[in-house]
């Protein structure tokens, strides 16, 4: 890629937007009021706004390797705080994708240097669900199931945060776990039963 072409593309994009709406950028500059916080993977093949068919200003986006929400990550916690408490989003989405490089790397037993502490979070997901995962003989199916279970556990991490718990009590915010199928382009709602999952842990994580 010729990096200078990016600026040429930007100018063409500006012209196209103004042809449709002469006040497009004026309206954008007046602020944002998104209803969705989207937490997704940094994978270059996954474009969050494009796969959802939404426009700038409609979704607040946070992306990192393997769509993780560890409570020790100040960036993820700050994004959740800002989106939920200040922007007052109505939905929080954690979206993974099949054939995720981060999840695949976590399944390997090799030393990956600086990535080790980050990928350990995914390995913890494997540990929590090892009986189910170890029963899957097909490696590709096991890999994709770990992608789904990782989304589930990151949704649980979202629900553990004080910001989301308060928003749930005050305005019934909802959390969703999705996976994007990179082979078909289909966005899949995992329809996770959070009431069932959280039943045994809310005594510990519930805030009064």
Which candidate in 62, 95, 100, 163 is catalytic? 100
Q: Which two tokens stand for residue 160?
A: 């553990």
Q: Is 41 a catalytic residue?
A: yes
Q: Is 183 a catalytic residue?
A: no
Q: Is 43 a catalytic residue?
A: yes
Which candidate in 43, 62, 95, 155 is catalytic? 43
Which residues in 150-169 are b (16+ Cβ under 10 Å) and which e? bbbbbbbbbbbbebbbebee
Q: Distance (Å, rounded) from C-alpha 95 to C-alpha 180?
A: 7
Q: Distance (Å, rounded) from C-alpha 82 to C-alpha 94?
A: 16
Q: Is 95 a catalytic residue?
A: no
Which candidate in 21, 23, 45, 171 is catalytic? 45
Q: What is the CA radius of gyration of the chain?
A: 19
Asked if residues 40 and 46 have their Cβ atoms less than 8 Å apart, the reply is yes
Q: Distance (Å, rounded) from C-alpha 131 to C-alpha 198?
A: 20
Q: Is 155 a catalytic residue?
A: no
Please give the helix or strand (H or E) that residue 110 lies within, else none.
none
Which candidate in 2, 5, 21, 41 is catalytic? 41
Which candidate in 62, 95, 97, 176 is catalytic? 97
Q: Which two tokens stand for residue 154?
A: 């990151």
Q: Report how far apart, in Å, the C-alpha atoms of 175 and of each of 91, 94, 158 are.
A: 6, 8, 8
Q: How many C-alpha atoms does 52 have within 13 Å on its Cβ side?
A: 21
- Which residues are catalytically annotated? 41, 43, 45, 97, 100
């Amino acid at each position: 890629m010729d990096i200078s072409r990016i600026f040429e593309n930007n100018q063409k994009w500006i012209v196209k937007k103004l042809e449709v709406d002469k006040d497009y950028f004026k309206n954008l500059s007046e602020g944002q009021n998104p209803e969705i916080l989207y937490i997704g993977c940094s994978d270059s093949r996954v474009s969050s706004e494009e796969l959802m068919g939404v426009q700038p200003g409609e979704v607040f986006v946070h992306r990192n390797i393997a769509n993780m929400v560890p409570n020790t990550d100040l960036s993820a916690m700050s994004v959740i705080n800002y989106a939920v408490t200040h922007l007052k989003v109505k939905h929080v989405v954690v979206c993974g994708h099949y054939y995720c490089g981060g999840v695949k790397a976590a399944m390997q037993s090799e030393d990956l240097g600086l990535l080790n502490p980050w990928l350990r979070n995914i390995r913890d997901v494997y540990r929590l669900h090892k009986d189910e995962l170890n029963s899957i003989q097909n490696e590709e199916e096991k890999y994709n199931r770990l992608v789904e279970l990782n989304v589930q556990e990151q949704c649980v991490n979202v629900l553990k945060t004080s910001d989301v718990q308060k928003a749930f009590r005050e305005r019934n915010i909802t959390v969703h776990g999705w996976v994007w199928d990179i082979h078909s382009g289909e966005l899949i709602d995992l329809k996770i039963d959070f009431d069932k999952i959280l039943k045994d842990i809310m005594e510990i994580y519930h805030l009064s």
